Structures are given as structure tokens and as C-alpha cells.
Structure 1
């Protein structure tokens, strides 16, 4: 990873990308760390599949990512 950090961690979801490329965006919200699952339908269209609080593993990965830039 190079360049400027994002405010969130984006992960390609290979396990659920059989029909379309799916991604998980993990970032902080007011109540903690959340995960948003989405796919890009067109250049300017994003379809949100779901949103939830991040799992412990996702939270750890997000914090490790953010620690790289502190």
C-alpha cells in the first residue's frame, strides 16, 4: 500500500465475488467500527449490499491498517 491513507480499509471479498466483484469497506463511525459490503455496478453507481458493525477480525485489520499511518 502506498500513497495517502484512506479513512477506511477496503477489502476485496473473493469468497462472495462469483457473480460480481464485492468489496468490504471498514471504517469508524460514531458508535465504533462498521463494515459496509458493496459492489460497483457502473463507473458512477455503487450498490450497497449490507452494513453492520465490524467483526473482531475486521476491526483488528482496520486498526492495523490505520496504525501504518500514525
Structure 2
């Protein structure tokens, strides 16, 4: 599996309303807010943007095998 997909399941949101929530489990409306307002810099922003694309395109089932491995 691709490392960025593993990181979506393993990395937790470090701040805000969803602090401690794995990025893969963030709600679509929260990801959409970042897409409108701007993603943070660095790896966190890249992961949020990737999760937004996965969620927006209905591809969240791609993460199911990785979730089972948690």
C-alpha cells in the first residue's frame, strides 16, 4: 500500500474541533471547509487535501483494508 494512505489512517488531527481524530475519519464538511479556506502548510495540509479528494470522489472504501489493520 501507498504510504500516504497509511498516514491518513494513522495520523490524528493535532488541533481544533476534531483533535485526536484520524484524518481518514474527518467529516466531509470539515474537509470541504479546509478546501475553501486553505489547507495548512506541510504534511498535514497535504494529507488533508488528499483526504478531501478521496472523500469528494467517493473513494473512502480504498481505506477499508488499512482501517482493519489498525
**TM-score where L is the length of structure 2:** 0.29
- Tell me: higher relative CO, structure 1 or 2? Use CA pairs within 8 A at least 6 residues apart: 2
Higher strand share: 1
**TM-score where L is the length of structure 1:** 0.29
